[in-house]
Amino acid sequence: MRNVKIDEVDELDRDVVALGNDYAQGFTLPPHKHRRAQLLYGATGLMYVSTRNGEWVVPPQHAVWIPPDTTHTVRFVGVTTRSLYIEPACVTGFIKHRRCEVISVSPLLRQLLLEAVDLPPLYESARDRALVNLMLLELAAMPVREFDIPLPQHPALLTLCQAFLIAPSIHDPAERWASALFMSASTFRRHFLRQIGMSFSAWRQRACVVSALALLITGKPVNEVALFLGYDNASSFATMFRRVTGQPPSFYHPT
């Protein structure tokens, strides 16, 4: 089914409903949630997914897993999507993802997603049911990519994190944040770890990597991205980027 809203077909008597949609450049879906879990796959373009707990950048040929009843916002940058909407009872005890996560999409899963969109709404044949079952098995085996930026619940710290994401810098010191929150540096680091579940330096690096990812996908030169993030040169940036993502910056740069 193509260019159909899930609300129109949510009550279909099938564990999995597959939909395909095209979104205009810069189109944003406002905060919403689904009764079913959703696997949102971007065949082209770039997606930004936000919840109250974090932000995710979803590159082409990746997908984001959104658990049932999770309020989220999605901004699309020239995206053609394929989505699976999966009954919560089917997810429980089968899919390991319990929070929003960006996952890799294997060539097999990609082909299954493309094929699933052309299934009849009430698919019946043994072949069609086998395709859906194989798709779920392949989905459960996909690795998670660390393309998320966790966000705190503490209002003042959240404001600082959101300001950082607008102008990220790999050299932004913890002392500046501590001063803004009227804390000592050591108290701030403990506070940050409690709020976000990772150290300030690890979060700062993660935020810079995810910001870089979005810039690279839109065609920014590697050297320009490195300087924007505060690196002295493209080489030091590329070393860090490969260490964190497992791929060189050129892997995500359009050719």
Instruction: Provide the pLDDT for residue 255.
Output: 63
Separation CA 234–CA 239 (nearest Å): 9
Instruction: Provide the pLDDT for residue 21.
Output: 85
Cβ-Cβ contacts under 8 Å for 150 (sequence gap 6 or more): 53, 54, 196, 197, 198, 203
Report CA torsion sign: 28, 16, 129, 121.
negative
Helix axes 155-166, 200-217, angle to 10 degrees: 40
Cβ-Cβ contacts under 8 Å for 75 (sequence gap 6 or more): 26, 27, 28, 29, 47, 48, 50
Separation CA 39–CA 37 (nearest Å): 7
Separation CA 182–CA 157 (nearest Å): 11
> Contact, 158 vs 151, CB < 8 A?
yes
Residue 81 has pLDDT above 80, yes or no: yes
Reported as a pLDDT band with limits 50, 70 and 90, residue 97 is: low
Separation CA 74–CA 72 (nearest Å): 7
Separation CA 236–CA 244 (nearest Å): 13
| Total-model pTM | 0.85
- Using a pLDDT cut of 70, give the percent of the chain over it: 97
Cβ-Cβ contacts under 8 Å for 10 (sequence gap 6 or more): 17, 34, 35, 36, 85
Q: Which residues pair with 76 in a beta bridge?
A: 47
**Token match 């050299």: residue?**
171
Q: What's at 78, amino acid-wise?
A: G
Residue 37 has pLDDT above 60, yes or no: yes
Query: Strands of 101-104's sheet, edge to edge?
Result: 16-23, 79-86, 37-42, 62-66, 101-104, 144-145
Residue 102 has pLDDT above 80, yes or no: yes
> Contact, 70 vs 100, CB < 8 A?
yes
- Considering only CA atoms, which of 90, 139, 36 is closest in space to residue 19? 36
Instruction: Give the E-state strand segments of 185-233 in sequence order.
Output: none
Computed on alpha carbons and rounded to an integer, the radius of gyration of the chain in Å comes to 20
pLDDT tens for each residue of 220-242 = 999 999 999 999 899 999 999 99
Separation CA 98–CA 112 (nearest Å): 23
**Token match 């020239």: residue?**
78
**Token match 């990609």: residue?**
110
